[in-house]
Amino acid sequence: MNLKFVTLSAENHVGIIRINNPASLNALNSQIISELSVVAGQAEDDDNIYAVVITGEGRAFVAGADISEMVSLSVKEGEEFGRKGAEVFRKIEQMKKPVIAAVNGFALGGGCELAMACDIRIAADNAKFGQPEVGLGITPGFSGTVRMTKLIGAAKAKELIFTGRVIDAAEALSIGLVNKVVPAAELLQSVMEMANAIASKAPVAVRLSKECINFAVDNDTDDSNNTENVLFGKCFGTRDQKEGMEAFLGKRKAVFENR
């Protein structure tokens, strides 16, 4: 596939996915959604990438889905478009590697939904969040109602979705929609510091920890405990576990090999 709007670069062991169509505020059309799927797959398959950052170019993270593409969709086409976006965002959510959203501006509709599909959200202090879809005569798509409910609770999700209200980064932090807010000029530096901190740990252990957490979100305590026990035990078959514990006992810095 000829990639026009989504790119992947790497710094050390951190992959950086950039959505680059600032003229449309990075609005999600079918091509960008498809490119995002391809690039996410590339990041997942690269064994030298231990953590992933997603951000947008220009003054928006993603300002929403492309209304010009959606305006004339039929019922069937609308469902297919929503399903396509939901499948790509689920792919990002289920990546074995941790994914950080660097929210550099508007994250509305599809942009808020993309950010919520990431494991961690760090926002610039000028970022804006919202699900304004009801003002367009549609519901949030791409699993927006599902993830927002899980992240901030049903009551707050209903308030934001029913009113379509856009909130600033400070309010997003206060309700648990984002993990951290930083000055806009320091956003990428702050995100890379966190991504590098994650990448410096045992990659296998980080991946298995993500698997445990994601399983716990959708399952009961007993099943989640069992999954954790199994994956905890799995760590002891890795070289990284031996290295991490031997380095600790030897009072030296661990050098992990991702195996």
Q: Distance between CA atoms of 48 and 88, rounded to whole angstroms?
A: 22
Contact 101, 61 (CB under 8 A): yes
Per-residue CA distances from 83 to 76, 80, 87, 173, 217 (Å): 11, 5, 6, 29, 21
Active-site hit among 133, 159, 186, 243: 133
Active-site hit among 113, 193, 211, 228: 113
Residue 132 makes CB contacts below 8 A (sequence gap 6+) with 64, 108, 109, 164, 166
Task: Respond yes or no: is residue 113 known to be catalytic.
Answer: yes
Residue 30 makes CB contacts below 8 A (sequence gap 6+) with 69, 81, 84
The H or E element containing residue 128 is strand 128-130
Contact 26, 63 (CB under 8 A): yes
Task: Respond yes or no: is residue 80 known to be catalytic.
Answer: no
Phi and psi for 256 in degrees, rounded to 5? -85, 150
The catalytic residue positions are 113, 133
